[in-house]
Amino acid sequence: MSTSTSNTQASKTAPAAGESTSTLVNRLWSYCELLRHSGVSTLDYVEQLTYLLFLKMADERSRRSGRFRVNEPEVPLVPPGRDWASLMTRSAEALVDHYEFILKDLGNRPGTMLGEVFTKAQNKIHEPAVLERLIKDLINPHRWTTEKQDLKGDAYEGLLQRGAEDRKTGAGQYFTPRPLIDAMVDCIQPQLGETITDPACGTGGFLIAAHANLVERYEDKLYGDEGRKLQTGAITGYELVRETARLALMNMLLHGIGTSEAKPLITIKDSLAKPPQRFYDIVLANPPFGVGSVTGESYVSRTDFWAQTTNKQLNFVQHIYNLLKTNGRAAIVLPDNVLFEGGAGAEIRRRLLETCDVHTLLRLPTGIFYANGVKANVLFFNKTGPRSGGRPATKSLWVYDFRTDQRFTLKQRPLRREHLDDFVQCFHSGGGDHFARKESDRFRPYSYDELIARDKVNLDLTVLQSKSSASSTLASPDVIAQEIVDDLEVALAEFTAVARALKQGTSDSTVSSEDNGTDNSGIQER
């Protein structure tokens, strides 16, 4: 990269107009409490706020001089009479009526980003005083856009993350920790002109991080055709749930990805239902956990798959392989069971090692996801095809053990980007040549021969032995207690999965040990 990791991170969180992102998020969140008392749920009031934030940001954008990166349309993002200025001229019931008219009118623009964002949008803030205070006292006095970054989208993303911390709402299922996402993108290093997708994109975190990475490294080249491609289809995603897709589109627009009149960059569909029709240079994903198709069907069958299984994650591995162009690159968050499960799992791992350069495995610690007890990994591979002479594509798999003796919690010791600095440095230590990488106490290679000789092609590999002992420094009691809870929840999930498999009478033991009974796992950035 052209800049250091620390510089990249600083630029993503730089304050705008003297206002830090955290300050704006805290202000928004404090007002969410009022909306909560009005009977609006977490994702609903985040959605309601983002409708208004979008209108305010569009207004700010139309008032400033100059252009942002590529040729912006001469027409405003939001038509006159449906914009922020029109809201500011009304009060009480007239304000509520006009706001509801705006939502309906903007939603009547099929085939566009703006239309998809506002499709079937409904006002859920029915108290005129609450809506007026939200518009005129909270949002309007503050500037949400900057000349450099275009939109203060980080505040929106922070609001979504705060919503995820309220576990009773279930919102946490849509989030992978941003530090992990940024580290994965820093490893993949997308190049200008490459196409990027997430087949289970949720609220769009991977897509936004990839865009930010490209803007940081190629800013001077984003004028004209290259920038236009980046805005109109180079970065796209797929999402099953319409409400979540709406949030993803809003999130992307607030981060400067796409334009209001452009074709929607998120396709609402079950990614596993059919073979892909478009192929990509890069896939970044955190597939949902569970059994069967994303739509809830008990089984998904695809003729382009190596093996048939009811395990969603294994099916997503196969789907992502098929999504990639030749020499395409992938980074996928996967639960432990994908590494060791027998039957279809063993066949899929064998075929993946043969047809792809499966070069890096990051073992993740528990305590970094919104769902307790999740044991996950990041698998990196390139779709190269077998080498000359029919030799397998994988030469060696480098494993980075970030799990052993690592302790994190969401509150007391949350994961930060700098915690992954060593992994990213190890990832790039060979300068693109995996054989030239430097070993460390946490980072070592396993040859293809070692991997294929393991029972069931088991990739559940470790590098370090735990140094924990009675004489070691113990974690605080609250951390130890949480780890016990995490272990119990994992065990309960495993028993639940076994019971479900027995009830279904399936002979294919492919039920995810992490399945929590929802369409998406708690680690999903989605």
Q: Each residue of 426-472: pLDDT tens digit?
A: 999 988 788 889 999 999 999 999 999 999 999 999 888 766 543 34
The DSSP bridge partners found for residue 445 are: 398
Helix, strand or coil, per DSSP, at residue 168? helix
DSSP collapsed to 3 states, 283-335: EEECCCCCECCCCCCCCCCCCCCCCCCCEHHHHHHHHHHHHEEEEEEEEEEEE
Of 216, 218, 269, 268, which Cα lies nearest the Cα of 246? 268
Q: pLDDT: is 38 or 423 the higher one?
A: 423
Helix ranges (DSSP H) in 197-268: 205-218, 225-231, 242-254
Residue type, position 168, single letter: K
Sequence spans of domains, the chain: 34-153, 158-188+270-463+475-484
Residues forming a β-bridge with 396 = 447
Of the ranges 59-68, 91-100, 113-122, which one carries the lowest mean pLDDT score? 59-68
Residue 10, pLDDT score: 34
- In CATH terms, are 34-153 and 158-188+270-463+475-484 the same topology? no
- What are the CA-CA distances from residue 325 to residues 198, 349, 356, 406 (Å)? 14, 19, 12, 36
Q: What's the CATH fold of domain 158-188+270-463+475-484?
A: Rossmann fold (3.40.50)
* Percent share of the chain, pLDDT over 90: 44
Q: Specify the pLDDT at position 414.
A: 87
Classify residue 145 by burial, with Cβ atoms within 10 Å: 0-12, 13-18, 19+: buried
Beta bridge partners of 267: 238
Cβ-contact 258, 112 below 8 angstroms: no
How high is the pLDDT of residue 372?
Answer: 63
Cα–Cα distance for residue pair 21/31, rounded to 1 Å: 16
117 Rama class: left (phi>0) / alpha (psi -120 to 50) / beta:
alpha
pLDDT tens digits for range 297-343? 545 689 999 999 999 999 999 999 999 999 999 999 999 999 999 99
Q: pLDDT-based confidence at 14, cuts 50/70/90?
A: very low
Q: Say how many Å lie between the first and final Cα of the chain, rounded.
A: 26
DSSP letter at 257? -
pTM score: 0.78
pLDDT band at 499 (very low <50, low <70, confident <90, very high): low
Could you tell me the pLDDT band of residue 521, with boundaries at 50, 70 and 90?
A: very low
Bigger pLDDT: 27 vs 425: 425
Candidate ranges 87-96, 167-176, 214-223, 369-378; pick with highest mean pLDDT: 87-96
What would the pLDDT profile of 349-383 be if each residue is shown by its tens digit? 999 999 999 999 999 998 887 666 678 999 999 99
Euclidean distance between CA atoms 246 and 511, whole angstroms: 30
Q: Tell me which of 1.10.510.10, 3.30.465.10, 3.90.180.10, 1.20.1260.30 is the CATH number of domain 34-153.
A: 1.20.1260.30
Specify the range with the lowest mean pLDDT, choosing from 58-67, 308-317, 415-424. 58-67
The least confident of 328-332, 386-390, 394-398 is 386-390
Strands 196-198 and 235-239: parallel
Task: Determine which of 47-56, 237-246, 267-276, 340-349 has the lowest per-residue pLDDT on average.
Answer: 47-56
Q: Which residue has the higher pLDDT, 492 or 302?
A: 302
Most confident residue range from 129-138, 288-297, 322-331, 413-422: 322-331
Q: Is a pLDDT exceeding 60 seen at residue 516?
A: no
Indicate if the pLDDT at residue 29 is higher than 80: no
Among the ranges given (45-59, 127-141, 285-299, 440-454), the one the predictor scored with the smallest mean pLDDT = 285-299
Is the pLDDT confidence value at 59 over 80? yes
Cα gap 515→170, rounded to integer Å: 14
From the list 348, 343, 284, the residue with the least C-alpha distance to 314 is 348
Q: Convert the pLDDT of each residue in 211-266 to its tens digit.
A: 999 988 988 787 777 777 777 789 999 999 888 888 888 888 877 788 888 889 99
pLDDT at 156 over 80: no
The lowest-confidence range among 131-135, 169-173, 501-505 is: 169-173
